[in-house]
Amino acid sequence: MTEVSRYFVSPDATVLDAMSVIDATAKGVAFVCSDKKILGVITDGDVRRYIIRGGDLSFNVMDVANRNFKFLRENDAVDAKVIEKIKLDYKALPVLDTEGRVISIIFEDETASLPAANLNIPVVIMAGGKGTRLYPYTKVLPKPLIPIGDVPITMHIMQHFEKYGCTRFTMVVNHQKELIKAYYSDPEIPYLIDFADEKEPLGTAGGLKLLEGKISGTFFMTNCDILIDAAYDKIYQYHKKMQNLVTMVCAVKKITIPYGTIHMNEAGYIESMVEKPTLSYLVNTGYYVVEAEFLSEIPKDTFIHMTDVVQKCIDAGKPVGVYPISEGQWSDMGQVDEMERMREKLTGGRDG
């Protein structure tokens, strides 16, 4: 039996501390408890909405936690169908004793969850780079075909999108493109895949310009070396609700300074000291939801990165949004050590 305390966070903890618990347990939820007595519930969705509102992750977790949560008592006689209905609406259902202490947790499972939305919109995979940070692997294979377990990273990306009804892919290719095309010419691959050929390196946005007039409406765009383990339908719905031209999926990246830091006052005296502080930043994951009109913002036949065009849109006052996710929902294989962590996460350490 799983120890329920794994899902607990102290009422003195910060929102960032709660995010660490949510990431570590991979259930999307944490319980604010004092001596196992539950005071509130915080989900990854609560944290996301808090970040979008401009909330400070160093603030107390109770500023975000839901104090009006659903629960069961240990002696409740509840019909199984009622529990299944509750599990559709809540990530987890705590079971409490007579004194309000958590004795077990009923988690939603795949059979009880609503099916993912059938989005059926195009996906563009930016697969033209040389992958120099992954040498020596990319001396043999192009980065899009580097295996993570039994299949290439780009196949993992397609499988993630397939869960949401997205099976139409365009790969923007350049370096070793014939090898990439040859691999994906296999008729047994269950996706509709076409290619946009760069004649010379154009950057993440310059390559996207090749699709102007060939793609319409809303589409996903992703780098070929990252995986996002989040609800793609919710990302899409948020993008449409906000009427964004482009929505950037960003992860909360935690960085711990391995030293004591010093803060000084204007007179030159030490005002305070913090031992090994943890800082947090929203960082670009390389995953976007894009409207086709965005392509008109990209200069033709120009090497330019996506972030440069996004900044141009921001400066022009056009609607550019952020969908925040936790660090644990983002896997990146841009460097060798990161690639090994991705392999461990996806395969449990098994070699492909």
For the domain that residue 311 is a member of, what is the CATH number?
Answer: 3.90.550.10
- What's the domain count of the chain? 2
Which of 15-19, 88-92, 107-111, 125-129 is predicted with the least confidence, judged by mean pLDDT?
107-111
233 shares its domain with 329: yes
- What are 220-271's pLDDT values in tens digits? 999 998 999 999 999 999 999 999 999 999 999 888 899 999 999 889 899 9
With respect to residue 141, please indicate whether it lies within any of the assigned structural domains: yes
What is the pLDDT of the chain when averaged over all its residues? Answer: 86
Six-digit token string for 286: 């390389």
Q: Give the position of tokens 């990146």.
A: 332
At position 200, the amino acid (one-letter code) is: E
226 shares its domain with 291: yes
pLDDT-derived band at 92, boundaries 50, 70, 90: confident
139 shares its domain with 236: yes
Q: Reduced to 3 DSSP states, what percent helix, strand and coil does the chain have, rounded to the nearest 5?
A: 30, 30, 35
Choose between 86 and 180: higher pLDDT.
Answer: 180
Which among 59, 78, 107 is the end of a domain? 107
With respect to residue 118, please indicate whether it lies within any of the assigned structural domains: no
146 shares its domain with 280: yes
With respect to residue 243, please indicate whether it lies within any of the assigned structural domains: yes
184 shares its domain with 328: yes
Residue 19 in this model has a pLDDT that exceeds 70: yes
Q: What pTM, to 2 d.p., does this model score?
A: 0.81
Output the domain CATH number for residue 40.
Answer: 3.10.580.10
**DSSP single-letter state for residue 101:** B
At position 346, the amino acid (one-letter code) is: L
With respect to residue 115, please indicate whether it lies within any of the assigned structural domains: no
With respect to residue 305, please indicate whether it lies within any of the assigned structural domains: yes
pLDDT-derived band at 207, boundaries 50, 70, 90: very high
Which among 107, 134, 165 is the end of a domain? 107
pLDDT-derived band at 86, boundaries 50, 70, 90: low
* Element at 37 (helix H, strand E): strand 37-43
85 shares its domain with 134: no
With respect to residue 112, please indicate whether it lies within any of the assigned structural domains: no
> Is residue 144 within 8 Å of 136, Cβ to Cβ?
no
Rounded CA-CA distance 111/6 in Å is: 24
Which among 73, 107, 141 is the end of a domain? 107
Rounded CA-CA distance 42/65 in Å is: 5
102 shares its domain with 234: no
* Structural domain harbouring 98: 4-107
